[in-house]
Chains A and B, each alone.
Chain A
C-alpha cells in the first residue's frame, strides 16, 4: 500500500469518527498547548532580559563591594569590607588592558524641582566624563560632563528623558537651572532615552560630576554605605580581553586589600555575564519544572491515545480480519493503526501549538511579559506529539497486526 493511500485512508477513518478523535486528542492538545505557551513566554522573557542586559554596555565591568551573583548575601560580612575608593579606580585605570574607567556614586533623591514642577524618584549619579562610554550614554542635546566640571566641582548636570518630561515639558532644558537637594544646578545636556530595565525607567536619571556630587550629598552610612558606596565602571580595551581584564582587576584589588591567597575576595567584580548567570540560575529551575509539566501532560495525552487505539483495535477486529483476508500484511495493519495514532497526535499537536501561541499572545497583551515563538517551538510541539503518537501507538498497532485473520473474522 502506498504511503499516500495510507494517509488518505487513515484520515478518512479519523474523520468518520470525529467525536472520538476529538476526545482522544484532547490530552495531547492540552499538553502541547501548555508547553508551547510556557515556551513562548519564556522565550519572550529571555529575549527581553537579554536586550536589557545588553543595554547596560556590553563589556563594562563593575567593581563594587559586593558580587551580584553571590547567591545569598551576608550583609554583616559585606558591611565590614573595605570601601572601594577613588585610588582603586586610578590604579585600575593604569592596568594595561583597561581602556576607560568611571568611578561612580548613586543617590536616589526624593525630588528635583524647576519652577514649581517636580520630578520624583530620580537617580542622581556622580561620576567622571568617561561614564558616557562605560554606560553607553548618547547625548541628545548639549554636552556630557567633562574633566573641567569635575576639577572645579561645578554644579552642572546632564538629565535623562524622564526629568525632561517632568520639569521641561515645553522648553529646552539646556541652560536652565534646576534645584537639586536645595542647590541650583545648571543643565548642560540631555541624554538619549534608554527605556526601562526590569520595569525600572533608566531615564529617571541625572548625572553630575563626582566632586560636585560629594559636595552636596552626605557620605552614606550603615547599609546605605554598601549599596551607595563608590563603584568603578571599567571598559576593557577590547571585548576579547574581558576575562583577562577581570583577572587583572581581581589581582590588583586583592593586592590593594592585602588578601592572602587563602582568603576569598572582599569585593565584587560584576559583568553582564554575572547578570546572565543570575538569570540562568532562575530560569534553569523554571525550565526543569516546565519539562516536568510537559512530560506529565504528554504522558497523560499519550496514554489517552493508547487507550483509545486499544479500544479501536478491539472494535475493529472484524475489519482487521477482513483487511487481512483481502491482502493486508501484518505490516500494512501495523502501519494503518500506527499512522492513525500519529495522525491523531499530530493533529492534537497542531491544535495545541496554535492554542498555546494564542494563549502566549493573550498573556503578553494583558501583562508586561513578551511572547516569542521561534519556528523551532512549533517544530518542537509538533515533533513531540508525533513522537508521542509513535511511542503510544506502537503497542496497539502491533496488537492489531498480530491478530489471526480467522479469529478476527469470527469476532463478534
Chain B
C-alpha cells in the first residue's frame, strides 16, 4: 500500500475559534492509482492533500507512506520525503518568477543533491516530455497559463516521485487549456504514475478512475469509474 491513513483529523484553532477541517479520514491508495478527491469548496480537500503530501501533520490519527509512519519523522526526513517521493502541482503554478523554466524545474534536483551533468539530462528529457522543449530559457511571465502549468508538472515529476498531488490544476486555466493539462495527467497515469487530483469540478474529477467525495471534512462517498 502506498498511502494508508487511519482516522486522521486536522483541527485549526484561531484564537478561541476551532475549525475541524478534517474529521477522521481513513483511506488506502495503491501504487499506480489515479484518484480524484472531490467536494465543494471548504470541504477539506486541500487540507487532506497537504497531510498526504507531508506538508503538514495531522492533529490525530496515523499516516503511513510506503509503510513509513510519517508523523514520527523529523523536518529533515520530511523534506527528503517531499523531495524524492512526492510531487506537487498547484492551482496557481507557484513558479519562481525571476528564474528560467530550466532553473525552476531544476530546483528539486538541487535539493536532492544531483550532479550538474545529470540534472541537465533529466531537465532536457522532462521538458521534452511535457512539450516544453522550446521554452527552456523563458521566464514564467513569458509563458501562457497552460505552459506554466506544464513547467509545474515537469518540476513535480523531475525526481520520479511515487505520488503526484495536483490541487485544482486547471483552476486558473481556460477550459481548452485545462483539457490539455488533464490529458497530460491521463498520459502520466497511463504510464504508471500515481496521481491524486484535488478538484471541486466534476468534469475534471471524471478523468480519474477512482473518486473520493468529501463533505465537511469527511469522505462521504467513493466512486469507481469504469474506463473505456
Contacts and interface: CB of A to CB of B under 8 A. Distances in A.
B98 interface: yes
- Residue from A1, A318, A326 whose CB has the most chain B CB atoms within 10 Å: A326
A1 B106 CA distance: 12
Contact of B110 (A5, A13, A330, A409): A5
Nearest to A330: B75
A325 B110 contact: no
9 contacts: A12-B103, A13-B98, A321-B94, A324-B55, A324-B79, A325-B55, A329-B76, A329-B79, A405-B55
B111 A1 contact: yes
A182 interface: no
7 shortest interchain CB distances as A-B pairs: A327-B83, A329-B79, A327-B111, A16-B98, A322-B94, A326-B108, A405-B55
Contacts of A319: 96
Contact of A409 (B90, B113, B159): B90
Nearest to A407: B56
Nearest to B95: A322
Given A325-B94, A327-B111, A406-B56, 10 more contacts: A12-B99, A17-B98, A323-B107, A325-B88, A326-B155, A327-B83, A405-B56, A406-B55, A409-B55, A409-B94
Nearest to B107: A326
Contacts of B80: 327, 329
B139 to A, nearest CB: 10
Contacts, number: 67
Nearest to B108: A326
Interface residues of B, number: 26
A79 to B, nearest CB: 79
B113 A332 contact: no
A324 B82 CA distance: 8
A329 B90 CA distance: 20
B33 to A, nearest CB: 22
A151 to B, nearest CB: 90
A325 B166 CA distance: 12
Contacts of A221: none
Nearest to B155: A326
Given A322-B94, A406-B50, A409-B94, A327 B82 contact: yes
Interface string A330-353: 111000000000000000000000
Contacts of B155: 326
Given A5-B110, A406-B50, A318 B94 contact: yes
B50 A9 contact: no
Contacts of A240: none
Contacts of B99: 12, 16
Contacts of A325: 53, 55, 82, 88, 94
Contacts of A405: 55-56
Interface in B44-101: 50, 53, 55-56, 75-76, 79-80, 82-84, 88, 90, 94, 96, 98-99
A327 B55 contact: no
Looking at A5, A321, A330, which has the most chain B CB atoms within 10 Å of its CB?
A5
A297 to B, nearest CB: 31
Interface of A: 1-2, 5, 9, 12-13, 16-17, 318-319, 321-332, 404-406, 409
A321 B90 CA distance: 12
Contacts of A404: 56
A328 B53 CA distance: 14
A291 to B, nearest CB: 40
A17 B98 CA distance: 9
A409 to B, nearest CB: 7
Nearest to A318: B94
B15 to A, nearest CB: 16
B223 interface: no
B112 interface: yes
Interface centre among B90, B94, B110 (most CB of A within 10 A): B110
Contact of A326 (B56, B75, B88, B113): B88
Contacts of B50: 406
B111 to A, nearest CB: 4
A276 to B, nearest CB: 57
A243 B208 CA distance: 97
B55 A1 contact: no
Contacts of A2: 110, 113
B55 A328 contact: no
Contacts of A17: 98
A1 B114 CA distance: 8
Nearest to B96: A319
A1 B113 contact: yes
B13 to A, nearest CB: 14
A2 B115 CA distance: 9
B117 to A, nearest CB: 13
Contacts of B90: 409
Nearest to B53: A325
A332 B111 contact: yes
Centre residue among A16, A319, A325, A405 by max chain B CB count within 10 A: A325
Interface in B113-169: 113, 155, 159
